[in-house]
Chain A
Amino acid sequence: MVRIIVKNVSKVFKKGKVVALDNVNINIENGERFGILGPSGAGKTTFMRIIAGLDVPSTGELYFDDRLVASNGKLIVPPEDRKIGMVFQTWALYPNLTAFENIAFPLTNMKMSKEEIRKRVEEVAKILDIHHVLNHFPRELSGGQQQRVALARALVKDPSLLLLDEPFSNLDARMRDSARALVKEVQSRLGVTLLVVSHDPADIFAIADRVGVLVKGKLVQVGKPEDLYDNPVSIQVASLIGEINELEGKVTNEGVVIGSLRFPVSVSSDRAIIGIRPEDVKLSKDVIKDDSWILVGKGKVKVIGYQGGLFRITITPLDSEEEIFTYSDHPIHSGEEVLVYVRKDKIKVFEKN
């Protein structure tokens, strides 16, 4: 319901000693679900606080639709006039108020009758399935319920933009998927523009249509999560958006060599980094006759683990300390030698810098 335009935004702290955001440019479309992914300290929270109006950009401009809301260190539209609902990482529920009072709090600042407030709160509570706990205090609620109360408080005032700051990091792993599904469902029902900040690629894949990756304050890549997954601009982006094997090798005429493994790719520099996702690696004792998989050499199984119904197998090339892990549906004993296959068009090559 609102389009956000970020133009050349930079943010420095401590008189320029700390650069939190470095010339960020981005357009977030009306009704889009946009994700910001980055390691801790990359400026994600700063970015979100600037959008929310809790902080101002040191330089650059921020527009909501065609309205300039902040520019060059000046706050033009304060947070309360931006029609934003925000879910904080810690949820920031008022501990002295009940769930009902928490959700109703934004409405008490508008000229609205008690009846109307009750109706709106109950409506949103029903959508989020918390109507039976409205009389409880936050400390009496489970983590998932607290999170939904926080979401309800953000949604009850009918915002144009919903900001989620690491909204699932305080939840049990089991509950995260249902919480993500709920957020996505509510968003599409209300059509509100959504900005989610996270370090967890699972949040991004579950929710975002598009994602921007922040590294050291710079927006290094923007695109669909799947595109970033397959075509990351750097090994850092690759490892932020999913698990990846990172191997440094020497470049020869026949490709990149790491111990007994040889990846047939051509690179111009001396040394290169090979990135290969675990699902693009296959270990086999016998020769595989399938053109999409290519043999890169022999490796030795180092460790085998078990995780989520699959065996996690780590191998090392012969004569090298590098490690490659992959998942397999059957165990292979450690110490065994295996043939290492990789999916042909999925080898990612990055220059060493």
Chain B
Amino acid sequence: MDKKMRPVIKASLHYLALAIVSVIWLIPVYAMLINGFKSNFEVLSTPVLVPPTKITFEAYVSVLLSLAKPLINSLIIVIPTSFISAFLGAMGAYFFYTLSYSFSRASSAISDVLFSLISLATFIPQEATLLPLTRLIVSMGLLDSYIGIIFALLIFYIPTGALLMSMFISVIPRSLIEAAKMDGTGDLKIFMKIVFPLSMPGFISTLIFIIIQAWNNFFIPLVLVTTPGMKLTSIAVLSYSGAYGTLYNDTFAAGMVASIIPLAIFVFLGRYFIRGLMALGGGGKGV
């Protein structure tokens, strides 16, 4: 027989591989989903992958009540953080773009150095900054406040925003910016009227990325929040698994609730995310 695999078999094998990976990936999600609907007794007495015999909402009800405040806190923190980081990041990225195209050799060298520093800032593990960061926030009198947490998150996410946005902004044709410069347009106006609108898909991708990162950030709220009323979702979810016993159904339900908001954002803005990624892949066709 022919040594070559028939296309049908080849495609089937591809789909089989995909299916296996998907199942592995979906098992935890599946467990989270079904166990949240089990009763306190059933969650302890049945295996984790077996669906509930009777669906109850008691776990969700109790979790929603206690998670309401952390969810609101998280939204108050995450929305300004992500918008400010993505927007300032975009401005920074445009700054580097103009510097690197400048014909003065000094400014393109400065651009390289600053850009390396920024990239470095995104690689620093947040845990390593524990003492200086806490002292900074305390000395500013912002411990246990929204502003303090937002400020701390911005320190880490503005560089991320600049790094991501510079990938999107660098595909904007240089002649567009030169044309505007020749007409006497200032950099701020070039940014607001041309660069920012043209990098909108990239901006939304960056925004989603930072929203998800900030929403799931555990370390910074852990250190900078001292009172229960200021708790963020990521910390609140953890409090369901205690040292002496865990209410599994509550934990799973809390995990589900905490994931819903980033998931919803991704679903609504997801096509822009994909479009942004495609703009990157398209090389110079970023417009």
Contact = CB atoms under 8 A, between A and B. Distances in A.
Interface of A: 52-56, 75, 79-81, 84, 86, 88-90, 92, 94-97, 105-106, 109-110, 153, 157
A111 to B, nearest CB: 11
B268 interface: no
Contact of B178 (A54, A56, A97, A105): A54
A106 B178 CA distance: 12
B182 interface: yes
Given A55-B103, A56-B103, A95-B287, A90 B182 contact: no
Given A55-B103, A56-B103, A94 B184 contact: no
A75 B107 CA distance: 14
A90 B173 contact: yes
B287 A105 contact: no
A96 B172 CA distance: 12
Nearest to A80: B184
Contacts of B180: 94, 105
Contacts of A157: 183
A109 B178 contact: no
Contacts of A81: 184
A92 B179 contact: yes
B185 interface: yes
B185 A105 contact: yes
Contact of A86 (B173, B182, B186): B182
A96 B183 CA distance: 17
A80 B183 CA distance: 6
Contacts of A54: 178, 181-182
Given A92-B175, A92-B176, A96-B198, A106 B287 contact: no
B182 A96 contact: no
B197 interface: yes
B44 interface: no
A106 B182 CA distance: 9
A81 B184 CA distance: 7
Nearest to A54: B178
B171 to A, nearest CB: 13
Interface residues of B, number: 19
B194 interface: yes
A315 B216 CA distance: 77
Given A96-B197, A109-B185, A109-B186, 13 more contacts: A53-B182, A79-B181, A80-B184, A88-B178, A89-B175, A90-B173, A90-B175, A94-B176, A94-B194, A96-B194, A105-B183, A153-B179, A157-B183
6 contacts: A90-B175, A92-B173, A92-B178, A97-B193, A109-B184, A110-B184
Contacts of A90: 173, 175
B178 A95 contact: no
A95 B181 CA distance: 16
A95 B197 CA distance: 10
A90 B176 CA distance: 9
A157 B85 CA distance: 37
A55 B103 CA distance: 6
Given A55-B103, A96-B197, A96-B198, A86 B179 contact: yes
A28 B103 CA distance: 25
Contacts of A95: 198, 287
A109 B186 CA distance: 8
Nearest to A78: B181
A80 B182 contact: yes
Closest 3 interchain pairs by CB? A80-B184, A106-B183, A92-B175
Most buried by A among B183, B189, B194: B183
A321 to B, nearest CB: 43
A153 B175 CA distance: 14
Contacts of B186: 109
Interface in B67-114: 103
Contact of A52 (B103, B173, B182): B182
A56 B287 CA distance: 29
Contacts of A94: 176, 180, 193-194
B105 to A, nearest CB: 9
B183 A109 contact: yes
Interface string B184-205: 1110010001100110000000
B63 to A, nearest CB: 45
Nearest to A75: B103
Contacts of B185: 80, 105, 109
A111 B22 CA distance: 61
A53 B173 CA distance: 18
A90 B173 CA distance: 10
A92 B181 CA distance: 12
Most buried by A among B182, B185, B189, B287: B182
A95 B193 CA distance: 11
A80 B175 contact: no
Most buried by B among A86, A90, A92, A157: A92
Contacts of B182: 52-54, 79-80, 84, 86
Contacts of A97: 193
A105 B192 CA distance: 13
A55 B193 CA distance: 24
Contact of A88 (B175, B181, B287): B175
A96 B175 CA distance: 15
Contacts of A79: 178, 181-182
Nearest to A91: B175
A101 to B, nearest CB: 9
A86 B175 CA distance: 11
Nearest to B172: A95
A97 B175 CA distance: 15
B196 to A, nearest CB: 9
